[in-house]
Structure 1
Amino acid sequence: MFYPMYRIWLLLLLVALVPGVRVVSGIDIYTPGEIEVVNGTDVKLKCTFSSRQPVTLQTVTVSWNFRGINSQSDESVFYFHEEAFPPDGRFKDRVVWSGDVMKQDASITLQKVQPSFNGTYICQVRNRPDVHGNNGEIVLRVVNKVSLSEIGILAAAVGGACAVILILLGIFVAVRLYRRRQLENDMELHQQEQVKTVW
């Protein structure tokens, strides 16, 4: 019982004393998984991050890369370090910096998207010395018109149900009014017949 505990303490002591052993911090990046956008419109690619180190303009670098649907290589989309550096190539004059590193936002906006923009966008943020961590990825689909999303389908279903209920309610009220008017007419006729029989 004593021997295994002795080994654990010895191991902990060695780890603490060995030079160069450091606790590695990481950076976490958050992006939506997939975005659908209509051809010719603008779209914001949202990328936020959290770092265990203080965030400053001097320590943060943001890189956006693009990987086409059938491509194995990445293409530079945007780079930010203290200021924005837009790219050349297919994304020239089509990318605008929409982030604020002091608010831990590394978002960009693509303007007038084209079908050639279909693919995966990779957001990479580093905040020295916090340089380890995951990359954020967004799959962008450029379509000719927006397909119905789950929210759109739900809204259409609720709207349709409300319309059906209103129609049924209108029919119910109309039938009640018709019956009441019919009953009043029948009572009036009955009273007139009684008056005639008296005379």
Structure 2
Amino acid sequence: MEIRLPIFTHNYVLLCVSAVFVYASVFGVSAIDVYTPTEVLVENGTTATLSCSFKSREVISSLASVVWSFLPEGETGQPTSFFYYSGGKPFQGSLPQFKSRVEWAGDMNKKDVSIRVIQMQFKDNGTFSCDVKNPPDISGQVSIIKVRVVMKEALPQTSMAVIVGGVIGAVIGIIIIAVVTYLIIRRQEPSHEYEGCTSLESVSSQNTRVGKKAESSNDNSRCSSPSAPVQGPVIYAQLDHSGSKNSFHKMEPVVYADIRKN
């Protein structure tokens, strides 16, 4: 892999690389895993975030480093480095195509080494490579991203019909849930039906006293309303109006049970 760096950082890079290999030779070498998405679609003229993360069995140290490289679409050979991160600081590469257009967007402590590329252009179509070293984890495969810069119309867009259908489906679902809940609550409510009275025997004792069986038109009847007032038995006396002075005859009282309903 070809690395092109500004002259003023050359000595610093050599020092870091030397330190990495010395550390690896002393403490041994182990593998490191690097992960990136397979393909990214980017709208022309927008900022793209190129995600990259890694997994290391070692504690992240100040010797950890990241190198981003680029190989234009249709070309073969080794990619050219255009950005790197080392010693806790980001550095721009010497590739003119990405000069002042790349920003560090990662967090080494979270094993995130992503970058942002400003104002993506059609000439940025190609393969971007992410390479991470965390001594003694320096052995591992470089992860690559296939980047395609396209016009806005070519980006996948959610159909308006799908959105409307989703909203309608959600509303119908809410209505069904509300109706079912209401029916369940109604079914669990206690019944308030009034049973009423079943029989009327309040005049039996008076019938026994006067020797005549009481007459009741609503005996063994049921009351239909809990608020209907119930009138007690009414006693009527029958008189003899034949005209004689001693014509008053004691008549046997007749007892009626008057039950009224509303």
TM-score w.r.t. the length of structure 1 is 0.64
**Which of 63, 70, 75 matches 1:71?**
75
Q: Does 1:36 align with 2:41?
A: yes
Larger Rg: 2
Distance 1:75 1:161 in 2: 46
Q: Does 1:87 align with 2:99?
A: no
The 1:162–1:107 alpha-carbon spacing in structure 2 relative to 1, beyond 3 Å, is closer
Query: Which protein, 1 or 2, shows the higher relative CO under an 8 Å CA cutoff with sep ≥ 6?
Result: 1
Report if aligned partners of 2:45, 2:119 keep a CA contact under 8 Å in 1: yes
The 1:84–1:144 alpha-carbon spacing in structure 2 relative to 1, beyond 3 Å, is same
Q: What is aligned with 1:104?
A: 111
Summarize deviations over 1:56-105 as a string: whole Å, max 9, x none: 2x221100000111112312121110111112311001100111111111
Moved over 2 A (4+): 22-25, 146-149, 155-166
Distance 2:155 2:124 in 1: 21
Q: What amino acid is aligned across from residue 59 of structure 1 in structure 2?
A: L
The 1:77–1:137 alpha-carbon spacing in structure 2 relative to 1, beyond 3 Å, is same
Distance 1:99 1:162 in 2: 37
The 1:79–1:90 alpha-carbon spacing in structure 2 relative to 1, beyond 3 Å, is same
Q: What is aligned with 1:121?
A: 128
- Residues matched between the structures, number: 143
Report if aligned partners of 1:62, 1:123 keep a CA contact under 8 Å in 2: yes
The 1:148–1:95 alpha-carbon spacing in structure 2 relative to 1, beyond 3 Å, is closer
Q: CA deviation at 1:160?
A: 4.2
Aligned-residue Cα RMSD (Å) equals 2.7
Summarize deviations over 1:111-144 as a string: whole Å, max 9, x none: 0010000001000001111111121111110001
Distance 1:100 1:93 in 2: 20
Percentage identity across paired residues of the two chains: 37
* Matches for 1:146-185 after TM superposition, within 5 Å: 146-149=153-156, 152=158, 156-160=161-165
Report if aligned partners of 2:29, 2:135 keep a CA contact under 8 Å in 1: no
Distance 2:170 2:36 in 1: 40
Kindly indicate which of the two structures has a greater share of residues assigned to helix.
Answer: 1
Q: What is aligned with 1:52?
A: 57
Q: What is aligned with 1:131?
A: 138
The 1:163–1:72 alpha-carbon spacing in structure 2 relative to 1, beyond 3 Å, is same
The 1:36–1:163 alpha-carbon spacing in structure 2 relative to 1, beyond 3 Å, is same
